Structure 1
Amino acid sequence: MKEYIITKKGSVVQTSSKRLLALASVVLFAAILLASIAPTASADPDWWNDNWQYRKMVTIDHTKVLDVGDPSTTYANFPVLVNATGLSNIKADGVDIRFTDSSGNQLPREIEYYSGGTLYAWVNVTLTKDAGDSTDDVLYMYYGNSDATEPAVDSTYGSENVWDANYMMVQHLGGTPAGYGGTHYDSTSNDNDGTARGGVTTDATGQIDGADDFDGSDDFVDCGGNTSLNIGATGQSYSVEAWFKTTRKDLQSISEKWQCPNPYPYCLRGEASGTVMFALYDGTNDPNVHGSQDCADDQWHQVVGVRDASTDTIRIYVDGSLNEETTDTTSGSLQNTADLLIGRRFADQQSFAFYGAIDEFRISASARSADWINTSYNNQNSPSTFCGFGGEEQKPCGSCQRWYLSSTAAGDGSYKMWKGDETKPAGTVTVGDEGEQIWLADETAAGNISFPADTWTGRITFDASSSDTTVRVWVGEWNGSTFTPSAAGENATIGGSGDFSISAGEFGVSNGEWLAFRIQDHDADGNSSVVSVGLNSSHLTSGGTDPAYPIPELPAMILFSVGLLVLTGYFWLRWKN
């Protein structure tokens, strides 16, 4: 069979199927060669920041968000309470915790409390899904960065920006400072800090983290009278809200800015019937609304008082539900010069002193809608069902590999570490005082392998029984009797359970030998270190230039071999033709 091709100069020449096959072989060889030397893909582009080693997906249950026409408008800049327990791999104070939306955009967050794996955090989220939808909003919580520091409070993603301009004051009353008295810091940028007076117990158990406990006598919190708290101007809308718990049925002030006989913008009180009330006063008229349930039951309740100037209405909500509304008959300004107090009516009189606990007190310069209030209640009443957590995800590492430490003996007194297998049973390995333990890769090198200089990372978790939690770690080669660390003997010191990184120099693992990891208890304090192993408790991760241990550059070798065969075939065809 004869075939023809046209040259660049336009001449027609006879060719053959063999020559076309040869030409195709050259093209194929070039493609294969390029593929064999092309760099391997790095970390997952969906990962927000490579400096953070872990994340969890946070799912906001859309059925807990009231159905509205446009949730992204109704619930813009909504402060979502995120509560979780049993967390790990986070810095002791939680400063490395960050949140993003599902597209990887960072969100402002405030860590109200983090300790021992328990988190209470507030995240500024614009909700886009509600009960009328069939899907949920999704966030991601990133953590595991030993170099992270707390963002400045006024920075773009700092704690103050969780609370938009509608919030005049946010007092978490969350157990800081512990004990009695001290300053209560406003979470907004308005700096309406409060001072605990009398003997307020500031670290009582709250609805959300901690709370303030008042003795019904001389305890109260004075939040001052800064301009931003001087609410009640003519035509101004605002909302006042708090969580409270009491057993007393009596007139008692949850919060007031009271200056009778002068006007006052609000009082929020318990009543003799155990209900609660919200009232305003202009010097003559005092419209008021009342809750419909007995709240003096030693249980936590949320109360919200709303002045809606757009409809000349005041309303009271208890536990997310509207209880009563009435016409706002006041006229003119309700502003005064009194301090805003929590737990009492007057600073210099023990009148209407509150008996019980108060938590999460807020003032907003807007009339919060019924949808907003109900969704806030759903979130704060049961944060663990409002937000669900997925499993822990580790940062993708491109061509790197991860070995999980185990308590499986490897011979020579060492232990095995398993590549990509985090299913081995949980256990412990003791590193004696000034002693060391070696972990070997589960396979020996299938050729002479060279590891370029790179950063190795990982995590060490200490068992609760460990009397020493400071160790030093290395990566290197084990030849059956001797451990040889990376080029310059680089190592990292770990104090307490957490992540580490080793800036390792170039090193090699000879054919038939092992990649190895060494942990040393280097301080002579008479105490041993007990390392938790198995599952996902402790592990070692190679850098992004990992040469595919235990087989050196296997993909490249295969591709090169195929390419060599194709090239040989090409010359054979040329010779035959």
Structure 2
Amino acid sequence: MLTNHFKSIIIFTGDTMKNKHAVNFIFTYYHIKKVFILFFTVIVFCLNFLSAQWYSNWNYRKIITNNLSPAGDLTNFPLLVVISNDSDLSSYASNNGYDIVFTLGVNTNKLAHEIESYSAGTLIAWVKMPFFSASVQASNMLYMYFDKTKPCTVWNASNVWTEGYWMVHHFNEAVSPLLDSSSNGYNGTWNFTSGTSTLGAAGVIGKGAYFDGTNDYIDLVNLHLPLNKSFTMSIWQKSEVTEPNATSRYSLYSNYFYFKKYQDTNIRKYYFYLLDGNGTNRGSSYNIPEGTEYSWFNHTAVYNQDENQYYVYANSSMVKSQSCTNTSKTSIIQISASGNDGWMGYLDESRISTNIRSSNWIAAEYSNYVNPAEFRLLGAKDEYGLPEISINALASPPAIPGQRASFNIAASVAPGIVTNIRIDYGDSTAVENTAVSGSSVVQTINHTYSSGAIVLLSAVAYADSGKTCTNLIYITPSPYAMPAVSNIQTFYQNEGIKFTFNLPSANINRVVIYRDNLQLSSISPVSAEMEYLDRYLLYNTVYTYQIGAEYASGMTVSSNITCLPLQPELVQKTIGVKGGTLANLVAELAIPAGAFSQDIIVSMHIYSNLLYNFQPEYVSAYNQVRIETVPQVHFNSNARFILRVPFVNSKIRMFPEDGKYAELFVGSENLLTIASYSETGAWVPLYSRSYDQNVLPNFSYKLLAADLSDPGKFGVSVIINKNDYTGKVIVKNRVFTPGSVYSAMSKVMIFFPNTAYEDVLFQIFRMDGKKVHERCFPGAVTLVSWDGINDCGKISDSGLYIAVITKGGKIRNAHRANIYLLK
């Protein structure tokens, strides 16, 4: 085991002893997940490439990588930043968070921001993004600086809300007044009479307000919008309205335009109200999706004066558009409402703008607010003037006794320069101390180890700030080189993807095949030339492979091998009296010796579900295949036929993925069966045996097997009626015409249960009792057919016949069916 041989130790000296970009390596050797054993490589990631500059002399910062704008580029967008229980903020920021500063990732220009709340490492802040990009990730990166030893900065919320924001309420206050974050000062007054209404309740972002539906509201009596101008209004609501015929429940209210929960038995119905220039109501109702009735939901209305049109958005999706010429009055007087028609539930983040918010803007707000923790990635803490250093071996294994070993050393610091790099190879040889100069330094070092003893290689970076960073790695020199497999070639075959490759060393113990980062196969013993066939594939699916060579001291893994999707349509083979096997991704046909008396061309076509079911007592089949012989013959001995049904993460995956088979197969995984296609347009179930085959933790097969007496068309279907399936004889083409140009009429097909897998005797009798045809089927057939050819090799006369199917020699329990041959 190599688990204890390769360790990483990173030590910082100076103002901190914490590892600011630590990488934890855990080596789990024998595990189904693929593990690269990188004996020698520890990389300390550096993000200083974004900005080697630093805001003033603040001691700490973190990079914040925000998602792209979901629908288009935006300017001066107020971005929500939520950070919870961050130990670095808690330790190194001031108690009120007033030392927190934001800059872009590419410069040190301070951005306008508002801190809605901060306590013990939990921050809710709004940052004005000069350019919020939909395509360039670096444009959306921020640095957050913090240092409680620095003077508090003065942040001004109104500088964040400049793009036409007329009123912005976060509902963060526990008492009056409720402060407007815009520059207009439309503060609210809490009017509480009685009941359970309260400020400081749980909001969609931080705190919100709760209303119990009685005479409690927030007064905004002085808020007026310019007459006959465009505007946008929005609010987050979480309803607790349960009665089916509730009183109208207002959330953002005036006598002239408002949002309300509609008075209706439909609890998903909401209403936007707006008066046009003539005082006529142009409002309309809309529904929110089912299942969201009591969840936080965003409602936004946009009135476009130039278009004389308004638009209503529910969770950023436009749900209503209607014309409205001018507006009579534009004042908001209350959040919730007085009397008995106030809101019942929670409210948060209410805003009014004199700008027309685009659908892109509304989509970006919703995406940012609905789950702010998922909207950004928070980096590790950077410290002012603290260098970083990494060590990367340039060969695998990193060292062989008596041979030169090479390592790449990279050091950086921001701000400042790296002045020295000190290397100790760990084998009591001389220590190298090299003078350097630069904010980022990369060099290659070489050294020859004389023995195979484990050594500790250390590298120390010194900065002009007086701070240092040390990186150490354990190295175990290998007694021999460990080359990876070579000459890998890929072959696409009907039954799967085959790899051939060479093993360049006699020291390899086993070969491991990985597919999509999971161990697919372990091969031992090994040879110089090897091959592997992966038959466990989904139709038309791309896979990535790697081939690992395991040595006594570790493993080397090949680069990625990404294969084309396999879509075989036809497999064909000439099979003679000795029998043979035909296979593709979805099916396998094993023809025993003696089944043919001469060489026969056998083909298996993948139908891609071209055959439909037209009879209501049966259901369609998937993974359809057609088996044919040239010339057309029966199997003298039963052929074993297997259909493979793949399961990925416990869900059936068949083709084509048309979205329809879910309604057939979900919940019916143990009722799967092989079905045979009757030319009358029905997929009739065969009695088939079922086996499970596990391949990977997330991938398995259910194998459906049946014995066939004849070629035909087959697929995977579902047993609708289990009683019929196990006890009913089904005759297809009861009246048939041998040799007909219409294949649907050329033979009779009889399906029957054979639950005990017994031998079958199939006989055809004339009405006078004379036998004209007989075949024996050792095994477990559940389908027989007759094309009218008698045992003398001639077409029988027209007339009524009796088909008798005897299982296991039990004549008393034989199945009988009347059939009619028509010449």
TM-score by length of 2: 0.38
Deviation by residue 1:211-244 (Cα, 9 ceiling, x = unmatched):
000110011001231xxx312512x100110111
Return the letter of the residue paired with 2:315. D
1:100 aligns with 2:103: yes
Q: How far apart, in 2, do the equivalents of 1:340 and 1:230 lie? A: 9
Q: How far apart, in 1, do the equivalents of 2:148 and 2:185 lie? A: 30
**Shift in CA distance, 334/93, structure 1 to aligned 2, threshold 3 Å:** same
Q: How far apart, in 1, do the equivalents of 2:202 and 2:349 lie? A: 12
SS of equivalent to 1:127 = strand
Q: CA deviation at 1:309?
A: 1.0
* Alignment match of 1:385 (pick from 364, 368, 374): 374
Where in structure 2 are the equivalents of 1:495-506 lying within 5 Å?
none
Contact 1:397 1:544 in 2 (8 A): no
Deviation by residue 1:464-507 (Cα, 9 ceiling, x = unmatched):
xxxxxxxxxxxxxxxxxxxxxxxxxxxxxxxxxxxxxxxxxxxx
Q: How far apart, in 2, do the equivalents of 1:86 and 1:164 lie? A: 30
Where in structure 2 are the equivalents of 1:129-278 lying within 5 Å?
129-130=133-134, 132=135, 137-151=140-154, 153=155, 158-174=156-172, 176-177=173-174, 181-198=175-192, 200-225=197-222, 229-231=223-225, 233-234=227-228, 236-248=229-241, 250=246, 251-258=248-255, 264=256, 266-272=257-263, 273-274=266-267, 275-278=269-272
Indicate the residue corresponding to 1:291 in structure 2.
Answer: 286
Q: How far apart, in 2, do the equivalents of 1:386 and 1:547 lie? A: 34
Return the letter of the residue paired with 1:167. Y
**Shift in CA distance, 354/166, structure 1 to aligned 2, threshold 3 Å:** same
Q: How far apart, in 1, do the equivalents of 2:188 and 2:467 lie? A: 59
Contact 1:288 1:314 in 2 (8 A): no
Q: How far apart, in 1, do the equivalents of 2:356 and 2:270 lie? A: 19
Return the letter of the residue paired with 1:367. I
SS of equivalent to 2:181 = coil
Indicate the residue corresponding to 1:315 in structure 2.
Answer: 311
**Shift in CA distance, 299/50, structure 1 to aligned 2, threshold 3 Å:** same
Q: How far apart, in 2, do the equivalents of 1:369 and 1:267 lie? A: 20
Q: How far apart, in 1, do the equivalents of 2:315 and 2:205 lie? A: 15
Q: How far apart, in 2, do the equivalents of 1:285 and 1:305 lie? A: 18
Contact 2:274 2:327 in 1 (8 A): no
Contact 2:163 2:355 in 1 (8 A): no
Q: How far apart, in 1, do the equivalents of 2:240 and 2:225 lie? A: 31
Indicate the residue corresponding to 2:62 in structure 1.
Answer: 56
SS of equivalent to 1:208 = coil
Q: How far apart, in 2, do the equivalents of 1:212 and 1:315 lie? A: 26
Contact 1:110 1:159 in 2 (8 A): yes
Q: How far apart, in 2, do the equivalents of 1:94 and 1:52 lie? A: 14
Where in structure 2 are the equivalents of 1:81-96 lying within 5 Å?
81-87=80-86, 88=89, 89-96=92-99
Contact 2:309 2:321 in 1 (8 A): yes
Indicate the residue corresponding to 1:356 in structure 2.
Answer: 345
**Shift in CA distance, 66/45, structure 1 to aligned 2, threshold 3 Å:** closer
Q: How far apart, in 2, do the equivalents of 1:340 and 1:305 lie? A: 17
Contact 1:308 1:314 in 2 (8 A): yes
Q: How far apart, in 2, do the equivalents of 1:548 and 1:90 lie? A: 23
Q: CA deviation at 1:547?
A: 11
Q: How far apart, in 1, do the equivalents of 2:381 and 2:295 lie? A: 34
Q: CA deviation at 1:271?
A: 1.1
Indicate the residue corresponding to 1:342 in structure 2.
Answer: 335
Q: How far apart, in 2, do the equivalents of 1:360 and 1:546 lie? A: 47
Return the letter of the residue paired with 2:98. V
Q: How far apart, in 1, do the equivalents of 2:220 and 2:295 lie? A: 26
Contact 1:173 1:210 in 2 (8 A): yes
Return the letter of the residue paired with 2:85. G
Q: How far apart, in 1, do the equivalents of 2:297 and 2:51 lie? A: 44
Contact 2:239 2:345 in 1 (8 A): yes
* Alignment match of 1:123 (pick from 120, 127, 130): 127
Indicate the residue corresponding to 2:78 in structure 1.
Answer: 79
Q: How far apart, in 1, do the equivalents of 2:467 and 2:62 lie? A: 30
Aligned residues with identical type, % of pairs: 26
1:301 aligns with 2:307: no
**Shift in CA distance, 134/60, structure 1 to aligned 2, threshold 3 Å:** closer
Contact 1:320 1:377 in 2 (8 A): yes
Contact 2:386 2:468 in 1 (8 A): no
Where in structure 2 are the equivalents of 1:339-488 lying within 5 Å?
340-344=333-337, 349-396=338-385
Contact 1:248 1:355 in 2 (8 A): yes
**Shift in CA distance, 86/332, structure 1 to aligned 2, threshold 3 Å:** closer
SS of equivalent to 1:384 = helix
SS of equivalent to 2:287 = coil
Return the letter of the residue paired with 1:117. G
Indicate the residue corresponding to 1:113 in structure 2.
Answer: 117
Contact 1:46 1:104 in 2 (8 A): no
Q: How far apart, in 2, do the equivalents of 1:245 and 1:281 lie? A: 26
**Shift in CA distance, 209/142, structure 1 to aligned 2, threshold 3 Å:** same
Indicate the residue corresponding to 2:52 in structure 1.
Answer: 46
Q: How far apart, in 1, do the equivalents of 2:169 and 2:362 lie? A: 17
Q: CA deviation at 1:188?
A: 1.1
Which structure 1 residue ranges, 5 or more long, are not aligned?
1-43, 259-263, 400-419, 421-541, 550-577
Q: How far apart, in 1, do the equivalents of 2:65 and 2:467 lie? A: 38
Q: CA deviation at 1:305?
A: 1.1
**Shift in CA distance, 233/104, structure 1 to aligned 2, threshold 3 Å:** same
Q: How far apart, in 2, do the equivalents of 1:100 and 1:308 lie? A: 34
Q: Alignment length, in residue pairs?
A: 332
Q: CA deviation at 1:203?
A: 1.1
Indicate the residue corresponding to 2:28 in structure 1.
Answer: none
* Alignment match of 1:279 (pick from 273, 293, 305): 273
Q: CA deviation at 1:52?
A: 1.1
**Shift in CA distance, 133/292, structure 1 to aligned 2, threshold 3 Å:** farther
Q: How far apart, in 2, do the equivalents of 1:224 and 1:115 lie? A: 33
Q: CA deviation at 1:289?
A: 3.3
Indicate the residue corresponding to 1:499 in structure 2.
Answer: none
Q: CA deviation at 1:342?
A: 0.2
Q: CA deviation at 1:288?
A: 1.3
SS of equivalent to 1:372 = helix
Contact 1:291 1:317 in 2 (8 A): no
Contact 1:240 1:362 in 2 (8 A): yes
Q: How far apart, in 1, do the equivalents of 2:209 and 2:304 lie? A: 29
Deviation by residue 1:285-326 (Cα, 9 ceiling, x = unmatched):
111133322587321001101111121111111111111111
Deviation by residue 1:141-167 (Cα, 9 ceiling, x = unmatched):
11113232140x5xxxx2220100400
Higher RCO (CA-CA < 8 Å; seq separation 6+): 1
Contact 2:71 2:363 in 1 (8 A): no
Q: How far apart, in 1, do the equivalents of 2:163 and 2:468 lie? A: 53
